[in-house]
């Protein structure tokens, strides 16, 4: 099958969406399918890439680590002259997401959208962030979903939420799979030695973007609290982002700098060894639709302590493969870390069995098979945009119709946001 993926974030950007696109594209290619990815230019991209079409983009949008792609470029049009997609998979509801709709309209092929993110929780990256902006984003994303032939939700929680918001097209729950073979093959002992972790040290770890929406201040505070009580404990952090210095200062100010270990962006192979070297993975984000690092940690055999939130509660089962805490409480989180540190050999064995079952459940071959099955069902259905008559005129008409749908969707969302704004009071 020929698959076209459109995404606003891709390697070398570090984040869940970029890694999801890479993971699915890699698995599909291993199974003999051809995947072409349309993505923005990022700093540090490889000189040579196979089946990746890069479009011009604004770097470090509004001080973030995101890249904002410009509208459809000649590169996309040129690539489609030699590649005939059978399905388009969009990973964002705007920018290159619009491109996905337009390509599908001109080709008369189905388009699938993965609802990776609860977008209203990321409006702080947009100038003029407000309640109205969040409402605009909600309406825009829901409208986009309904322009697609199907929507993929990474978790049951997300699926239920977007249906309540008004998504009418079919919604399939398919999480991003994890490469169990890769993450179970890391050299944890070598990693610990390289980082200076003593053999009897208890290592707490976290990996991800160091961004405000990840609730990392709570993570640092609760972990530092545990380190102050257990002199065997160390904390390892990997990633880049705005909160890097603030997290480091949390440990320095408490005299814990010698037991705080940091590394920037790591390759998958390096991450596999890091996960294997951890005694527990700590996760406190409340904005995830899945939290891929959680399944990666479990694929490496590492238990997880996390806060109950969308996308996480489907993976972490309290007392079975880690601890899932109902609310943000520094003392409770520190105590959950202590619970893992105090497990007996038999309790660790039972926990390891639960972790292994979860890793198998979320393995990439399983989730890729579900996605391919969805693709095939949509291709067989021949979506309403597809016409037997193929000519420049019909293609142009379909493009105009799809452009109008996109404009109406944006206008409808903007109109709703404007109507919801309170009236200004005259003095």
Least confident of 11-20, 241-250, 275-284: 11-20
**Residues 370, 351 share a domain:** no
Mean predicted confidence (pLDDT) in 249-260: 97
Helix (H) or strand (E) holding 276, with range, is helix 268-277
Same domain for 259 and 156, yes or no, is: no
Question: Tell me, what's the pLDDT at 78?
Answer: 79
Q: Which pLDDT score, from 0 to 100, does residue 11 have?
A: 76
d(CA 3, CA 12): 21
Residues 6+ apart with CB under 8 A from 31: 368, 372
- Host domain of residue 40: 2-177+365-419
Q: How confident is the model at residue 331 (pLDDT cuts 50, 70, 90)?
A: very high
Determine the pLDDT at residue 260. Answer: 98
Residues 6+ apart with CB under 8 A from 399: 102, 105, 106
Is 427 inside a domain boundary? no
The pLDDT of residue 384 is 52
- Of residues 396 and 350, more confidence is placed in 350
CA nearest neighbour of 189 among 199, 181, 201, 180: 199
Give the position of tokens 């032939």.
149
Q: What is the pLDDT of residue 117?
A: 80
CB burial readout 25-61, b (16+ within 10 A) else e: bebbeeeebbbbbbbbebeebeeeeeebbbbebeeee
What's the pTM value of the predicted model, to 2 decimals?
0.76
In a domain, 331, yes or no: yes
Q: What is the pLDDT of residue 67?
A: 46
pLDDT of residue 398: 54
pLDDT given at position 134: 62
pLDDT higher than 90, residue 46? no
Q: In this predicted model, what pLDDT tens digit does every residue of 94-115 receive, in sequence order?
A: 878 888 888 888 888 999 999 9
Q: Name the least confident of 107-121, 216-230, 406-420.
A: 406-420
Question: Does 254 share its domain with 149?
Answer: no
Are 202 and 310 within one domain?
yes
> What H or E segment, with its residue span, contains residue 139?
helix 131-145
Same domain for 95 and 242? Answer: no
Contacts of 178 (CB under 8 A, 6+ apart): 23, 292, 295, 296, 298, 299, 359, 362, 363, 364
Give the pLDDT score at 58. Answer: 53
| Cα 216 to Cα 287, 295, 346, 417, distances in angstroms | 12, 19, 32, 31
206 phi, psi to nearest 5 deg: -150, 140
pLDDT range class, residue 209, cuts 50, 70, 90:
confident
Contacts of 256 (CB under 8 A, 6+ apart): 224, 227, 228, 235
Chain segment 157-180, per-residue pLDDT in tens: 899 999 999 999 999 999 999 999
Same domain, 247 and 339: yes
- Per-residue pLDDT at 97: 85
Is the per-residue pLDDT at 194 higher than 80?
A: yes
Integer Cα distance of 204 and 237 in angstroms: 9
pLDDT attached to residue 249: 98
138 or 407: which leads in pLDDT: 138
The pLDDT-based confidence of 415 (bands split at 50, 70, 90) is: low
Packing angle of the helix pair 188-195, 268-277 (nearest 10 deg): 90
Assign 123 a pLDDT band (cuts: 50, 70, 90).
very low
Domain-located, residue 221: yes
- Mean of the per-residue pLDDT values of the chain: 85
Q: Considering only CA atoms, which of 142, 177, 140, 143 is closest in space to residue 158?
A: 142
Of the listed ranges 9-13, 153-157, 160-164, 259-263, the least confidently predicted one is 9-13
Task: Provide the number of structural domains found in the chain.
Answer: 2
Same domain, 214 and 353: yes
Give yes or no: residues 257 and 391 share one domain. Answer: no
Same domain, yes or no, for 243 and 332? Answer: yes
**For position 127, what pLDDT does the model report?**
47
pLDDT score of 390: 47
Q: Give me the sign of the Cα torsion angle 18, 178, 121, 328.
A: negative
User: In this prediction, what percent of the chain has a pLDDT beyond 70?
Assistant: 80
In this structure, is the dihedral angle defined by the CA atoms of residues 241, 246, 251 and 252, taken in order, positive or negative?
Answer: positive
Residue 120 has pLDDT above 60, yes or no: no
Q: Can you give the CATH number for the domain in which 203 is found?
A: 3.40.50.2000
> Strand locations in 93-135, DSSP E?
111-114
Residue 400 has pLDDT above 80, yes or no: no
**Mean pLDDT in residue range 55-77:** 55
Residues 207 and 354 in one domain: yes
Sheet holding 171-173, edge to edge: 52-55, 34-40, 2-6, 87-90, 111-114, 150-153, 171-173
The model's confidence at residue 63, banded by pLDDT at 50, 70 and 90, is very low
Do 213 and 358 have their domain in common?
A: yes
> What is the arithmetic mean of pLDDT over 321-345?
97
Give phi and psi for 385, each to the nearest 5.
-75, -20
- For residue 234, the cross-strand partners are 203
Q: Which residues pair with 111 in a beta bridge?
A: 88
359-380 pLDDT per residue, tens:
999 999 999 999 999 999 999 9
Q: Tell me, yes or no, whether 424 lies in a domain.
A: no
Identify the band that residue 352 occupies on the pLDDT scale cut at 50, 70 and 90. very high
- Find, among 342, 340, 345, the residue nearest to 316 by Cα: 340
Backbone angles phi, psi at 405, to 5 degrees: -60, -45
């Amino acid at each position: 099958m020929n698959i076209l993926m459109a995404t606003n974030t891709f390697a070398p950007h570090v984040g869940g969406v970029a890694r999801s696109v890479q993971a699915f594209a890699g698995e599909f290619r291993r199974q003999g399918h051809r995947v072409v990815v349309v993505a923005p230019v990022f700093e540090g991209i490889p000189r040579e890439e196979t089946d990746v079409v890069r479009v011009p983009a604004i770097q470090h949008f509004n001080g973030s680590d995101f890249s904002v792609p410009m509208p459809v470029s000649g590169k996309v049009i040129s690539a489609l002259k030699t590649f005939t997609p059978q399905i388009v998979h969009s990973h964002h509801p705007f920018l290159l997401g619009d491109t996905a709709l337009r390509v599908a309209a001109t080709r008369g092929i189905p388009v699938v959208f993965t609802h990776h993110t609860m977008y209203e929780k990321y409006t702080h990256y947009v100038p003029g962030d407000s309640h109205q902006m969040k409402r605009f984003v909600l309406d825009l994303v829901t409208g986009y979903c309904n322009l697609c032939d199907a929507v993929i939700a990474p978790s049951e929680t997300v699926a239920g939420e977007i249906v309540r918001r008004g998504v009418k097209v079919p919604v399939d729950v398919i999480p991003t799979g994890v490469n169990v073979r890769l993450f179970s093959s890391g050299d944890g002992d070598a990693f610990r030695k390289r980082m200076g972790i003593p053999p009897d040290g208890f290592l707490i770890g976290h990996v991800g973007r160091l961004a405000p929406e990840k609730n990392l201040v709570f993570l640092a505070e609760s972990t530092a609290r545990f380190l102050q009580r257990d002199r065997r404990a160390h904390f390892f952090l990997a990633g880049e982002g705005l909160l890097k210095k603030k997290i480091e200062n949390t440990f320095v100010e408490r005299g814990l700098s010698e037991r705080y270990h940091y590394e920037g962006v790591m390759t998958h192979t390096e991450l596999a060894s890091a996960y294997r070297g951890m005694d527990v993975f700590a996760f406190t984000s409340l904005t995830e639709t899945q939290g891929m690092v959680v399944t990666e940690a479990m694929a490496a055999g590492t238990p997880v302590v996390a806060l109950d939130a969308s996308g996480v509660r489907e993976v972490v089962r309290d007392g079975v493969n880690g601890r899932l805490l109902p609310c943000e409480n520094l003392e409770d989180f520190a105590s959950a870390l202590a619970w893992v540190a105090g497990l007996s050999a038999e309790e660790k064995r039972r926990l390891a069995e639960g972790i292994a079952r979860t890793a198998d459940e979320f393995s990439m071959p399983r989730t890729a098979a579900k996605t391919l099955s969805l693709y095939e069902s949509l291709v067989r259905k021949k979506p309403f945009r597809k016409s037997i008559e193929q000519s420049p005129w019909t293609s142009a008409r379909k493009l105009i119709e799809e452009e109008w749908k996109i404009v109406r969707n944006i206008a409808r969302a903007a109109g709703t946001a404007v109507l919801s704004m309170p009236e200004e009071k005259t003095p």
